[in-house]
Structure 1
Amino acid sequence: MHKAELDGYLGKFLNNRYLIRELIGKGGMGRVYLAEDAAKGGMPVAVKILSLSLDNQQISQRFAREIFIGAQLGRKSKHIARVLSYGITEDKVPFYVMEYLQGTNLKTVIRSKSLSISKILDIIYQICLGLQCAHQGINLKGEIYPVLHRDIKPENIFISEDSKETESICQVENPKSEIVKILDFGIAKFLTERAGMTLTESFIGSLPYCSPEHMEGRKLMDVRSDIYSLGVLMFEMLTGKHPFYMKDNSFGNWYQAHKFQMPPKLKEVNPDVQIPRELQELVMKCLAKEVKNRPENVGKVLEVLGRIKQQQNGDFFNAATFKNTSNVQNSSSSTQLVPATLISEKICLQKTWPSNKPIALICFPHILQSTQGNIPTFWAMLPKKEIESFTKQINATEFIFQKKNLHPVLLWVTVLCDNKFNLTRWLSYFLDMKDAKSQKIVQTLAKTGYYHLLLFALENPQKCEQVVTLTLSASNRQILADWLELSEQINPVLSLNESKNILRVEYEKRKPGIINNLVEIQKKQRINFRELLDKTLSKFMRVMSRPII
């Protein structure tokens, strides 16, 4: 640690609030200090201050980007270090405040002890949840922009010992006390140049963990670059060694290794560890030289990890199976891949219609308590014939609200259509955002990213006839999270009933567009199915035409 006389921040307050206690880290862009938040009873926080020696436009832009991304993603996922606040020192130097983590980084863990396969799977799974949330994107000027981390390495993975975690909206709850967090989004990149926060293109990254396309400076990198870095990380965790051995750390040597050198088999590096075959295959797929040969997104990696753990002992978060029960979803939901069934739908099927609700064509939301936490559900009573028609349903979820002068109310709409669009049922419910119960429902929806729709027959309400699990798009989840914050700041001019009437008018205007979107999505899926069928039949005919030997 540096002496106080060499560091002008030690022992001083920033913004009359954060008392700097100790230097705990130093990197390329700045220094990180342990501090106390006087406004919260001396709660420990970490403060990162931009280095004066690097005070130029590009570094300042990177620092601003890190603050912006950390603030949004840290609120959405507990597997990403959270930015709490930011400001400028008396010397006009920018800084930001983040949660103080107690524990150690993954690099230290790998060096100090060998990890069991179960522990490795646990850590990788949580890293993937954080990456998945980043790849799903953040809200910038009303649009969702996926974020590429670009610097996944052991030093940027922190294993926190603190079990007191704040609620977040892009993760599966982890029942264990150790929480894995991704650090340092300082060189993260939006996957579109329209975001308005681009940097001068030059190589920035950690050579041992960079994908080939990252080192080549390709502008059209996608999430599979992070997946390559994840593959290097997994290899190192499983074997204790890096997949490529370098005599020196030059850019040229690392590029040759990542671009052309094939990684050794895991058994060759560490024959003493019994690594499941499917896990070995997953690591090698992540390390594929060609982008197209890697898993297309982190969701695919999560599927395999969950399957492996279930095969071992069946206790992997009780949420390893990824499933989509709807035939057609809202087009924006294609970017969203979330665990769709944290609890068995059998539990929902055992539910009966509440005795305090009338036997009528109504619908209402309900928070279902489970061992995995709060699960959002939407209950609806319909004629039995309609429910049978919706066995193969086409569905969409919409959230409608307006900001100006209205009471903060959100209209939650679920649309169900049969596969020929002969029958459509609109299920809608107003959520008063000044009501604590409604706030909890919105918070839970944003957090889980899905909900169970329970359908009860008007003729026999004693049992649930059908359960449909609907996933929410990344944009819908961001709308919910933003609306939660915004609703607290609104001083309405109009009453609740007047606001509802205005939303009803907007709702009716949107109905034709919602149906048209669903029709277009179904057409595209039919075309894709036809193409797949033609390819399958063509392949079958080629095989059948071969002579039998």
Structure 2
Amino acid sequence: MNEYKSELDIYIGQLLNHRYLVRDILGSGGMGRVYLAEDVARDCMLVAVKMLSLNIRNKQLAERFGREIFIGAQLGKKSPHITRVLTYGITNDKTPFYVMEYLRGRNIKQVLKRESLSISRFLKVCQQICLGLDCAHQGVVLKGKIYPILHRDIKPENIFLANDSKPTETVKILDFGIAKFLTETSGMTMTESFIGSLPYSSPEHMQGQKILDVRSDIYSLGLLMFEMLTGRHPFYTNSHSFSTWCKLHCIEAPPTFEEVNPHIQVPQELQQLVMRCLAKDIHDRPKNVKEILDDLVKIEKHIENNHTSNSKKSEPDTSLKLVPLTSISEQLCWQKYWPKNKPIALICFPHLLHTPKGNIPTFWAMLPEAEIEKFKDKKHSNKFIGKSEDYPIMLWLTMLYEENTNLIRWLAYYLDLKDNREEKILRNLAGIGYYHLLLFAHEYPHKCNYVTTFMLSAKQRQYISDIINSSQRIERLTSPTQAKIMLKLEYEKFKAEVNEQMNLHTVNPSFSFRNWLIKLVTFWKPPS
């Protein structure tokens, strides 16, 4: 053991690329070793460094490693559910490496050793896995051409739960190092050697078929889903031989959920979905990951509806109409009073509203009563502008617009993600997907005057989540004041563009300012 340890420690203490100080080893695999390192150029921010096992003089491995870097860099930018590659380099002894985001949490294998997953948590995790896989299967662009990508090694060790067990835990798919490019027409040509993990390989992979497609990943995903639900692999064996696993995957029918674990209760539609993924014939499986994702969403809604129905049956006074959660929390908002610790002034601020259904993000503002009357029952817009390169900060912007008079009111609040309370507000906002705006009249400041609800798009929710996740990897390089000033400059540029178009609407009434504003809010990005 000590000999093994000393061999692995040859890079500990080295400074790679004059920037990354290697501190410890995190793990070892077939392709290489993974180290914990500090980025000395970013106040010792923690990163992970993957080192190739063999020297770069081995051309085949070097090319394969280079492909891993390219795939990781491309896919990590496209999906928050794929590990992000930051940079790469070569050591003095010609060993190639690349630098990845450092993740805190546990992989699925580690989780299942200690606990079982609830159906609710399982569905949330699997949906994120599907989002990441679907992104990879859609491919990366190389020289103007799109190449779909297979993972080929989906297994519990390669699915990582960042922020493990928290309500907003993020799933990350690890190690696309054995992925292969697929051509648009003929699929993927396999190498002569077997690459993958025997317990999680598809029948066609085991049989050495030259053409594989996304349904091979779907089979591996089915094995993973079965294990996550039951706590055991469907084909349990102590054998490590290729022939044994080939027989199990290609011939042996998978057991039922009850045969593996009679103590669990898995919805029938979910069992059927997993068994479709485990079909021996590739044509009997779902044709793509999006199909699986759609089924998971439907199953989740069905379970929620059944739960609601059962809860209502147990109540003696059954309501004739189901009241949406947003309506319930809106009613609570109408009962709110202006906080005593806030000045009676034209200000705005976010607040987490505590309700029997949980915390709901809200945005409070005080305006002249005449303005509130003009904004009532109008359609408004919101925008989130984040900056996380130097210091994690986000601008929460709500724009109230009255088209007849071209009146626009900007309600802006800067949230510091280093502040636990403000980070919690953003996490709830991304998780719930809506917020209530409470307007208080300056002339009658105490009781809430008007409440409206803003729904966030999927892109907005993902954008907020991305900023939150990136903030965990950023050590302070600038002060909060400096970061706020830089973000304010981007905000002023955004306002200037809006005001310019609003003036155009004044000159040319046929120009639809509101449609333009919606388009701008959707597609506008801070200047680089």
Q: 8 Å contact 2:21–2:40 — kept in the other structure?
A: yes
1:424-465, CA deviations, whole angstroms, 9 ceiling, x for partnerless residues? 98553345699988x958992797263403244758972365
Match of 2:498 among 507, 511, 536: 507
Aligned partner of 1:50 in structure 2 is 52
Matched, 1:301 2:296: yes
Offset of residue 89 of structure 1: 1.9
Q: 8 Å contact 1:445–1:451 — kept in the other structure?
A: no
**Given the superposition, is the C-alpha separation of residues 30 and 501 from structure 1 closer, same or farther in structure 2, using an over 3 Å criterion?**
closer
Matched, 1:454 2:442: no
**Given the superposition, is the C-alpha separation of residues 274 and 474 from structure 1 closer, same or farther in structure 2, using an over 3 Å criterion?**
closer
Match of 1:96 among 79, 94, 99: 99
Aligned partner of 1:62 in structure 2 is 68
**Given the superposition, is the C-alpha separation of residues 264 and 13 from structure 1 closer, same or farther in structure 2, using an over 3 Å criterion?**
same
Offset of residue 364 of structure 1: 3.5
Aligned partner of 2:525 in structure 1 is none
Match of 1:32 among 31, 34, 39: 34
Aligned partner of 1:237 in structure 2 is 228
Alignment of 1:282-301 (within 5 A): 282-284=273-275, 289-291=284-286, 296=291, 298=293, 301=296
1:344-389, CA deviations, whole angstroms, 9 ceiling, x for partnerless residues? 5565454334564668xx78441426699986533456646864x4
Q: 8 Å contact 2:438–2:448 — kept in the other structure?
A: no
Match of 1:153 among 143, 152, 155: 155
Unaligned 5+ runs, structure 2: 142-146, 310-324, 388-392, 503-511, 520-528
Aligned partner of 2:352 in structure 1 is 368
Match of 2:268 among 273, 277, 295: 277
Q: 8 Å contact 2:198–2:242 — kept in the other structure?
A: no
**Given the superposition, is the C-alpha separation of residues 287 and 148 from structure 1 closer, same or farther in structure 2, using an over 3 Å criterion?**
same
Q: Determine helix, strand or coil for the equivalent of 1:49.
A: strand
Amino acid at match of 2:426: T
Alignment of 1:137-536 (within 5 A): 151-158=153-160, 172-173=167-168, 182-186=173-177, 202=190, 206=197, 209=200, 229-239=220-230, 240-242=232-234, 265-271=256-262, 273-284=264-275, 289-291=284-286, 296=291, 298=293, 301=296, 304-305=299-300, 308=303, 348-354=333-339, 356=342, 364-368=348-352, 376-379=361-364, 383=372, 387=376, 389=377, 396-398=381-383, 412-414=397-399, 428-430=410-412, 444=426, 448=430, 450-456=433-439, 462-463=447-448, 465-474=450-459, 477-478=462-463, 481=467, 502-508=493-499, 512=512, 515=515
Offset of residue 233 of structure 1: 1.5
Q: Determine helix, strand or coil for the equivalent of 1:56.
A: helix
Offset of residue 267 of structure 1: 3.2
- Structure 1 length normalisation: TM-score? 0.55
Q: 8 Å contact 2:381–2:400 — kept in the other structure?
A: yes
**Given the superposition, is the C-alpha separation of residues 8 and 291 from structure 1 closer, same or farther in structure 2, using an over 3 Å criterion?**
same
Matched, 1:13 2:14: yes
Offset of residue 26 of structure 1: 1.9
Unaligned 5+ runs, structure 1: 166-170, 194-198, 315-339, 403-407, 520-549
Offset of residue 55 of structure 1: 3.7
Q: Determine helix, strand or coil for the equivalent of 1:463.
A: coil
For 2:382 and 2:397, the matched residues in 1 are separated by 8
1:235-292, CA deviations, whole angstroms, 9 ceiling, x for partnerless residues? 23344242799995599979867xxx98554335544544343543453465573536
Amino acid at match of 1:95: Y
Q: 8 Å contact 2:86–2:98 — kept in the other structure?
A: no
For 2:335 and 2:291, the matched residues in 1 are separated by 37
For 1:274 and 1:411, the matched residues in 2 are separated by 42
Aligned partner of 1:125 in structure 2 is 124
For 2:482 and 2:183, the matched residues in 1 are separated by 36
Q: Determine helix, strand or coil for the equivalent of 2:10.
A: coil
**Given the superposition, is the C-alpha separation of residues 306 and 473 from structure 1 closer, same or farther in structure 2, using an over 3 Å criterion?**
closer
**Given the superposition, is the C-alpha separation of residues 231 and 33 from structure 1 closer, same or farther in structure 2, using an over 3 Å criterion?**
same
For 1:446 and 1:36, the matched residues in 2 are separated by 31
Offset of residue 506 of structure 1: 0.6
Q: 8 Å contact 1:66–1:187 — kept in the other structure?
A: no
Aligned partner of 1:318 in structure 2 is none
Q: 8 Å contact 2:72–2:84 — kept in the other structure?
A: no
Aligned identity (percent) is 32
Most deviating of 376-385 and 199-208: 199-208
Q: 8 Å contact 1:84–1:98 — kept in the other structure?
A: yes
Q: Determine helix, strand or coil for the equivalent of 1:291.
A: coil
Amino acid at match of 2:124: Y
Amino acid at match of 1:89: T
Offset of residue 90 of structure 1: 1.9
Q: 8 Å contact 2:132–2:173 — kept in the other structure?
A: no
**Given the superposition, is the C-alpha separation of residues 348 and 156 from structure 1 closer, same or farther in structure 2, using an over 3 Å criterion?**
farther
Q: Determine helix, strand or coil for the equivalent of 1:184.
A: coil
Amino acid at match of 2:234: H
**Given the superposition, is the C-alpha separation of residues 3 and 227 from structure 1 closer, same or farther in structure 2, using an over 3 Å criterion?**
closer
For 1:513 and 1:192, the matched residues in 2 are separated by 45
For 1:254 and 1:188, the matched residues in 2 are separated by 24
Q: Determine helix, strand or coil for the equivalent of 1:242.
A: coil
1:190-243, CA deviations, whole angstroms, 9 ceiling, x for partnerless residues? 9999xxxxx986587557646799988577x5xx98666433212233442427
Q: Determine helix, strand or coil for the equivalent of 2:157.
A: helix
For 1:253 and 1:415, the matched residues in 2 are separated by 65
Q: 8 Å contact 1:10–1:22 — kept in the other structure?
A: no
Q: Determine helix, strand or coil for the equivalent of 1:91.
A: coil
Q: Determine helix, strand or coil for the equivalent of 2:28.
A: strand
**RMSD, aligned CA:** 6.4
